[in-house]
Structure 1
Amino acid sequence: MYPLIRLLTTLRKAKKAPKISVDAVSENSFHCMPWDLDLFMEMNNGRVLTLYDLGRFTLSIQSGLADVLKREKWGLVVAGSTIRYRKRVRMFDKVTMYTQVAAIDERWVYIKQSMWVKGEPASSVLLRTAVTERGRMIATERVRKAIGMEDEYPEPEGWVKAWIESEDVRPWPPLSAQVGN
């Protein structure tokens, strides 16, 4: 079940939060609730990805991107991600999530996010995202101009750059789906 109440709470808080630049770090806090758990009494991995969505909503609202998306009738898509889990998130743990743009190129906006419990990292994700218009991706230059972002792209740090390069050589369609493989 989608966390609708948490979504509404997140949106309300984000609208009241101070405005930040697109490349600043956005922060969310919440508690792991019983409906976030799997059979092993830890936060479900699918729920983690859903909650990361809420962190990106917060960043887009605080940075003014959400207003531009609404005005231009643009959408947001996730085109790839890699996640690393390192610490279990248990019921009622307070989680602090950080969201930041890691890099921008001509087509993609790369976003890094992490969840922390008791001062320790629990998980992190790197995403390849895009803005769409009528179901098609648009160049990041149009998005940057619409939000008043300068012409410079944030340069990816080493591990982000390596992930981007590895995605460029990843086979598509997947090899297991090809006839004879």
Structure 2
Amino acid sequence: MYPFLRLAKEFHVHRNAAPLPLTGTHVSHHMCWPWDLDLWMELNNGRTLTLLDLGRLPLAKRVGLIGALREQGWGLTMAGVTVRYRRRVRMFDRFQIRSRCVGWDARFIYIEQGMWRGEECCNHALYRSAVTDANGIVAPVRVMEAMRRTTASPPLPGWVAEWIAAEAHRPWPPMAG
């Protein structure tokens, strides 16, 4: 089940947090609960992606994206993700989620997130997100205008640009059978 109560808690905890610049880092604090576990008694890989929402959505609010989405009647979707899992997160482990926008291109906004236990990164994700309306994807330049920002994207880090290029070569639709 989606962690609606945990998400509500995050919005409540960060309700008075200062606005962030577009590439600012939002830090949130969490715990791995028994219902987050898999058969091996560690944080389930799919649940990891769900818990990252708890950092990404408050980040969107703090940079002004949520307000623009509401004003314009737009939606937000994830169009891709790549994840590295490096350290186990076990029951009752406390961790931070660090979330930030690394930049955007003509179609997508790229969000970097990591789960940290102290100074050790347990996993790291790069999301490709899209703002949508009834006609499909809204260009990030329009999104920035709706957010009353005139900032151009910072140069995307090389590893992000290489992931984008690799995804462009991935066949779609995938082979069936």
Residue equivalent to 1:89:
89
- Work out the CA distance in 1 between the residues paired with 2:164 and 2:13: 32
Percent identity at matched positions?
A: 42
Equivalences, count: 177
Residue equivalent to 2:68:
68
Q: Tell me the TM-score normalized by structure 2.
A: 0.95
- Work out the CA distance in 2 between the residues paired with 1:135 and 1:41: 43
Residue equivalent to 1:117:
117
1:101 partner amino acid: C
1:111–1:126 Cα contact (<8 Å) kept: yes
Structure 2: runs of 5 or more not aligned? none
1:14–1:61 Cα contact (<8 Å) kept: no
1:104 partner amino acid: W
Residue equivalent to 2:54:
54
Residue equivalent to 2:129:
129
2:61 partner amino acid: I
- Work out the CA distance in 1 between the residues paired with 2:111 and 2:158: 14
RMSD value, Cα: 1.2
Q: What do the CA deviations read for 1:9-54 (whole angstroms, capped 9, x no partner)?
A: 0111232211111211111111111111111110111110001112
Q: What do the CA deviations read for 1:110-156 (whole angstroms, capped 9, x no partner)?
A: 11110001320000011111101126111111101111222411211
Q: Tell me the TM-score normalized by structure 1.
A: 0.93
Secondary structure of the structure 1 residue equivalent to 2:142:
helix
Q: 1:110 to 1:169 in 2, by over 3 A?
A: same
Structure 1: runs of 5 or more not aligned? none
Q: What are the equivalent positions in structure 2 for 1:5-44 lying under 5 Å apart?
A: 5-44=5-44
1:8 partner amino acid: A
